[in-house]
Amino acid sequence: GAGVSQSPRYKVAKRGQDVALRCDPISGHVSLFWYQQALGQGPEFLTYFQNEAQLDKSGLPSDRFFAERPEGSVSTLKIQRTQQEDSAVYLCASSLEELVEGADNEKLFFGSGTQLSVL
């Protein structure tokens, strides 16, 4: 596709269930970010990949959150034993190049997100 694709678009989970959220970045894109956007809030950084290497996972809120990008393309964000506070929109963004400077974030393309509701 032409843009960053995320699936599913909506996910409803019962508390305690595991979920997996998928991000298909634009083909060939090196950099990939995951963000969490709670209702009424701005997106918050979760983790960053450069190709298959997870260079920064400092934003993951707990050890229940795990992200991978094994072949340097598709990425999956997994949340184990979901809690109600995990309810949010999860955004993926990718960039063709490595982001060196802050201004390089202008080259990011964002997906439409996965809306996760934990009941």
For the CB of residue 32, give the shortest distance to other proteins in the complex, in Å: 11
Question: What is the DSSP code (8-state) at residue 69?
Answer: -
Q: Least distance from C-beta 15 to other proteins, angstroms?
A: 26
Answer for the pair 74, 54: CB distance below 8 angstroms, yes or no. no
Q: How far is the CB of 42 from other proteins (least distance, A)?
A: 3
For residues 17 and 22, which CB has a smaller minimum distance to other proteins in the complex? 22
Which residues does 33 contact at the CB level (< 8 Å), separation at least 6?
Answer: 45, 46, 47, 48, 49, 92, 93, 94, 108
Q: Which residues bind other proteins (CB under 8 A)?
A: 3-4, 31, 33, 35, 40-45, 48, 50, 55-56, 59, 91, 93, 98-106, 108-113
Nearer of residues 77 and 82 to other proteins, judged by Cβ: 77
Least gap, CB of 53 to other proteins (angstroms): 11
Residue 43's nearest CA partner among 79, 90, 85 is 90
Question: The tokens 């964000």 sit on which residue?
Answer: 77
Q: Closer to other proteins at the Cβ: 4 or 19?
A: 4
Nearer to other proteins, 13 or 30 (CB): 30
